[in-house]
């Protein structure tokens, strides 16, 4: 390991340990991820199966610590398996949106000229349509499966990262290291991928956390409106199923709602912490 790498690693660890919100966010997020990964072992059955009496309150039956819903389905199993669906959809949609947005923003920002003008107009065209409305339209076109939902959210969320990446590339394409790469005969593809993109990575990483949180909220909203995958249980679908019993069994919406709120909050805290850690102007 080089001395520069060791210094960077030590600085990163030092800043992370000095950031309690970041540590709290990462702790909650890691716990949610572990629950999602362990769901098939904790609750090996189908979470949509009816296993007990309907609307058992949390703590009423030790076999179902979080109670059951109106159809007698184990709410704890639904929450655990729902974490898998929500996280997987959020991460998949973010990867899709991030890939599209980064590619378009990098090309527009690096080449400029008519290429930039055309791609900016395309980006603005997508931004004129409300993101959630576009997602609803895309999901409605085909059967609402988990893949369709992830693709739809990703296809609707790329303009934000495209504008960010474009701004970063426009500010970096005139840097000395880019000029040196051009003089050495490096191709445009190599300059984009090996020189400029790594320098813009910290801003992209921070934006990624926001995209994951928004994707989870969007998936929950779709499931709440019965536009989610009917063969899978998610936090949004649990809330949607329990809204008719909000007065008599409010826990059916409160528990998955709390899970969504904690997960989104943890992602935002982690993102803010990464912004502080990766910011070169942070204290040493």
Q: Tell me: the pLDDT tens digits for 175-232?
A: 888 888 888 888 888 888 888 888 888 788 888 888 999 999 999 999 888 888 888 8
User: For the chain, what is the mean pLDDT?
Assistant: 87
pLDDT band at 281 (very low <50, low <70, confident <90, very high): low
Q: What does DSSP assign to residue 246?
A: T
| Cα-Cα-Cα-Cα dihedral sign, residues 278, 271, 160, 87 | positive
d(CA 79, CA 51): 15
Let me know: does 42 contact 51? Beta carbons within 8 Å.
Answer: no
5 part of a folded domain: no
Q: For residue 248, give both structure tokens.
A: 């008599």
Reduced to 3 DSSP states, what percent helix, strand and coil does the chain have, rounded to the nearest 5?
75, 0, 25
Q: Band the pLDDT of 8: cuts 50, 70, 90.
A: low
Q: Is residue 105 part of a domain?
A: yes
Tokens of 251: 């826990």
Phi, psi angles (nearest 5°) of residue 18: -90, 5
Q: How confident is the model at residue 276 (pLDDT cuts 50, 70, 90)?
A: confident
Express each pLDDT in 68-102 by its tens digit: 988 899 999 999 999 999 999 999 999 999 999 99
- Look at residue 166 in the predicted model and tell me its pLDDT: 93
**Pure H helices in 43-175:** 75-111, 113-127, 131-141, 146-172
Residues facing 50 on adjacent strands: 73
What does the pLDDT look like over 46-59, one tens digit per residue?
A: 898 888 889 889 98
Q: Can you tell me the distance from the alpha carbon of 157 to that of 178, in angstroms, rounded to the nearest whole number?
A: 29
Mean pLDDT check: name the lowest of 21-25, 45-49, 185-189, 274-278: 274-278
- Taking 60 as the threshold, does the pLDDT of residue 140 lie above it? yes
- CATH classification at residue 217: 1.10.3720.10
Q: Minimum mean pLDDT among 21-35, 139-153, 190-204, 258-272: which range?
A: 190-204
Using an 8 Å Cβ cutoff, are 34 and 21 in contact?
A: no
Question: Is position 187 within any domain?
Answer: yes
Res. 17: pLDDT tops 80: no
Is 206 inside any structural domain? yes
Tokens of 235: 């936090």
Please write the tens of the pLDDT for every residue from 104-129: 999 999 998 899 999 999 999 988 88
Question: Whole domain around residue 29: which residue ranges?
Answer: 18-45+56-278
Alpha carbon 192 to chain centroid distance? 25
In the prediction, which pLDDT does 282 show?
47
Non-local CB neighbours of 50 within 8 Å, separated by 6+ positions: 71, 72, 73
DSSP 107-141: HHHHH-HHHHHHHHHHHHHHHTS-HHHHHHHHHHH
Number of separate domains in the chain: 1
Question: Looking at residue 284, what is its pLDDT?
Answer: 46
Evaluate whether residue 13 is within a structural domain. Answer: no
CB 36 within 8 A of CB 270: no
Instruction: Give me 203's structure tokens.
Output: 């801003």
Mean pLDDT of 258-273: 91
Q: What is the pLDDT of residues 217-238, one digit of tens each?
A: 999 999 888 888 888 899 999 9
pLDDT of residue 279: 66
Q: Is residue 2 part of a domain?
A: no
Q: What is the pLDDT of residue 1?
A: 45
Say if 180 falls within a structural domain.
Answer: yes
Could you tell me if residue 7 is inside a domain?
A: no
Of 11 and 227, the structure prediction assigns the larger pLDDT to: 227
């Amino acid at each position: 390991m080089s001395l520069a790498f060791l210094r960077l690693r030590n600085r990163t660890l030092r800043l992370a340990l000095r950031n309690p919100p970041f540590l709290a966010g990462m702790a909650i997020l890691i716990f949610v991820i572990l629950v999602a990964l362990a769901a098939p072992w904790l609750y090996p059955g189908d979470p949509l199966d009816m296993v007990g009496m309907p609307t058992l309150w949390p703590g009423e039956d030790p076999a179902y610590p979080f109670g059951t819903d109106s159809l007698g389905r184990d709410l704890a199993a639904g929450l655990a398996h729902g974490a898998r669906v929500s996280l997987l959809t959020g991460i998949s949609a973010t990867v899709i949106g991030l890939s599209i947005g980064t590619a378009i923003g990098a090309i527009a920002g690096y080449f400029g000229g008519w290429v930039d003008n055309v791609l900016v107009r395309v980006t603005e065209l997508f931004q004129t349509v409300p993101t959630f409305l576009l997602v609803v339209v895309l999901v409605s076109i085909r059967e609402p499966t988990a893949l369709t939902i992830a693709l739809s959210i990703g296809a609707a969320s790329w303009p934000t990262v495209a504008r960010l990446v474009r701004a970063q590339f426009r500010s970096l394409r005139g840097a000395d290291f880019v000029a040196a790469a051009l003089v050495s005969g490096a191709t445009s593809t190599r300059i984009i991928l090996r020189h400029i993109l790594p320098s813009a990575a910290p801003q992209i990483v921070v934006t990624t956390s926001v995209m994951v949180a928004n994707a989870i909220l969007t998936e929950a909203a779709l499931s709440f409106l019965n536009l989610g995958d009917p063969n899978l249980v998610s936090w949004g679908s649990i809330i949607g199923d329990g809204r008719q019993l909000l007065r008599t069994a409010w826990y059916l919406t409160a528990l998955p709602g709390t899970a969504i709120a904690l997960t989104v909050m943890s992602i935002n805290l982690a993102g803010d912490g990464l912004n502080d850690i990766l910011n070169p102007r942070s204290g040493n």
